[in-house]
Chain A
Amino acid sequence: MTAAAKIVPAFDAQKARGDFPILSRQVYGKPLVYLDSGASAQKPHKVLQAMTQFAETDYANVHRGVHYLSAAATDAYEAARRTVQKFLGAAREDEIVFTKGGTEAINLVSYGFLAPRIQPGDEIVLSVMEHHSNIVPWHFLRERQGAVLKWVDVRDDGSLDIEALGAAIGPRTKLVAITHMSNVLGTVTPLKDIVARAHAKAVPVLADGCQGAVHEIIDVQALDIDFYALTGHKIYGPTGIGALYAKRAHLKTMRPFNGGGEMIREVTQDIVTYADPPSRFEAGTPPIIEAVGMAAAIDYLMAFDRAAVKAHEHDLLTYARERLRDFNWLRVIGDAPGKGAIISFEAEGMHAHDLATILDREGVAVRAGHHCAQPLMERFGVASTSRASFALYNNRADVDALVAALAKAREILG
């Protein structure tokens, strides 16, 4: 970079929308209104093109052969790792482990880092708004090793009770596992504060960044966080790829998760020694094309002024909140200050699945159900909710379509 200031283009949502081929299609003869990016985001043409181009020109297995394409593929794969490193603000590229997704990243921490450190009665602190992927790996340790799960509540507005979290961290706490952003409530957690409170008691922190990474700007070094789990398909990248950021010091102490090729130093009939991180945790042929795709997605996202993207998404959230206020039969769940672009609601007399079915026929895709967050559903006394989640490609017309479809649902079911 020269002395000239980097020129960051202002965010043009309408133009960005054009980057996503699928958004121009129709469903049931109606324009697609995609409000389910929280489940999986659509992919820009650039990402699909990067994957195709790589597969057509540079593809081979990585870290294995000596031939030309093997080197080219390895270069692309390792360049993807550096892209993730930059995206998360990690100090070193070998602190990035590729996984098949966010779930595997968290399971890797559970198996590789925490399990060997757990004695019966040791505690794991987590919030009630966690996704099942940040609950079940800890339940494994409860079932298998007698770990105790310490649940931290959220307030009625969906914000994290940070005092309760601080109080929950005790002498037997071995990990704080917390979402960066709730996939139901949209609540963004104060990671810096959480890390400070945990580290004061020498407890490491894992953040589930599956929802947060696409909306929030992350700097794992500034946060001083120990682990950060990332998934590709929610940041406009492909499925089948994710990453775990872990501090180098932790990675060095972690036992391998999967065994196989690529993760070893030497294998004999009697013993096996392991490769250094991150290879130690990447057994088998990795999702190479997907890694290239995830890097392309990050490049796509990073080319925008991310604060401007966030402001755009926040505008949609505010607008949706305003418009939904007209429906007195609708209860929004989650109104934490600074929340991200997710709006969950319960409609009086209408089950979420009936509602979603009607919305679907209007071309409006929302998520309905328990959102893999059953403890949270229980906390708010609901069986399920409907959720609209916004991405950079959404616009106010999408919100209007949602509102119109909700009115129709009310007409049919109300």
Chain B
Amino acid sequence: MDQSLRELYQEVILDHSRHPRHFGALENATHKAEGYNPLCGDRVTVMVMLDGEGRVADIKFQGKGCAISQASASLMTEMLAGRTRAEAEKLMEGFLHLAKGEEAPGLSPDDREYLDVMSGISEFPMRVKCATLAWHTFKNAVEEGKNAMDEGVT
């Protein structure tokens, strides 16, 4: 069996995709955006509640998609809860580097280790967009609640 496939679809990823964390509607969301991948029709809605200090007090997502997009969204919500917007942006930047198979010097060792399960995606360039959909959607949500669809974010 192809080792890179095993890495991509490792148990942690499959577990997140089958049992996504923070899945569902978020009442009292202060920010919300929908992301859409026109290639596969996958959609994800990210709902965020930012507190007075701009910290992610709560975050949830909904949607349907492939194992990669679901797992990535689930992992993302776990990681972003409790972070400030600046921290969240740094994380996202690091994740986008990892997804492209690049070094991510801005990530703390803990975050780097946590995100490592997703780094196998870099071997599958056609699928990188699946992994980044939720992250782009989060970014659009917290940036003035823009709709990711309008941005052509894929």
Q: Contact residues of A with B, CB < 8 Å?
A: 28, 349-354, 357-358, 361-362, 368-370, 374, 377, 383-384, 408, 412-413
Contact = CB atoms under 8 A, between A and B. Distances in A.
Given A351-B65, A351-B67, A353-B127, A412 B5 contact: yes
A89 to B, nearest CB: 38
Contacts of A408: 1
B5 A413 contact: no
A33 to B, nearest CB: 15
A141 B67 CA distance: 39
Nearest to B1: A408
Contacts of A377: 41
Interface of B: 1-2, 4-6, 8-9, 14, 18, 39-42, 64-68, 124, 126-127, 130
Contact of B41 (A349, A350, A384): A384
B5 A353 contact: no
B41 A354 contact: no
A374 B42 CA distance: 12
A358 B40 contact: no
Given A351-B66, A354-B67, A383-B64, A370 B5 contact: no
B64 A354 contact: no
Contacts of B41: 369-370, 374, 377, 383-384
B83 to A, nearest CB: 29
B40 A354 contact: no
A368 B40 contact: yes
Contacts of B1: 408, 412
Nearest to B124: A357
A357 B8 contact: yes
Given A353-B66, A354-B67, A383-B40, 8 more contacts: A350-B67, A357-B5, A369-B40, A370-B40, A374-B41, A384-B40, A412-B1, A413-B9
Nearest to A370: B41
A361 B2 contact: yes
A131 to B, nearest CB: 15
A1 B68 CA distance: 60
Given A352-B40, A353-B130, A354-B9, A28 B2 contact: yes
Contact of B66 (A28, A354, A374): A354
B56 to A, nearest CB: 27
A408 B67 CA distance: 16
B67 to A, nearest CB: 5
Q: Which of A349, A357, A413 has the most CB of B within 10 A?
A: A357
Given A369-B40, A384-B40, A413 B65 contact: no
Q: Which 7 A-B pairs have the closest CB atoms?
A: A351-B66, A353-B66, A361-B2, A354-B67, A370-B41, A354-B66, A383-B41
Nearest to B127: A357
Nearest to A29: B2
A383 B43 CA distance: 10
Contacts of A361: 2, 4-5
Contact of B5 (A349, A358, A369): A358
A413 B67 contact: yes
A412 B124 CA distance: 16
A357 B68 CA distance: 11
A35 B130 CA distance: 23
Contacts of B4: 361
Contacts of B64: 383
A369 B124 contact: no
A368 B14 CA distance: 20
9 contacts: A28-B2, A352-B66, A354-B9, A354-B66, A354-B68, A362-B2, A370-B40, A383-B40, A384-B41
Nearest to B66: A351
A353 to B, nearest CB: 4
Nearest to A353: B66
Contacts of A353: 40, 66, 68, 127, 130
Nearest to B9: A412
Contacts of A358: 5, 9
A383 B42 contact: yes
A207 to B, nearest CB: 27
A369 B66 contact: no
A379 B138 CA distance: 31
A352 B4 CA distance: 19
A408 B2 CA distance: 11
Nearest to A349: B18
Contacts of A350: 67
A115 B17 CA distance: 48
Nearest to B4: A361
Tell me which of A350, A352, A353, A413 has the highest count of chain B C-beta atoms within 10 A of its own C-beta: A353
A144 to B, nearest CB: 22
Contacts of A368: 40
Contacts of B68: 353-354
A361 B4 CA distance: 9
Contacts of A351: 40, 65-67
A383 B4 CA distance: 26
B129 to A, nearest CB: 10
B27 to A, nearest CB: 26
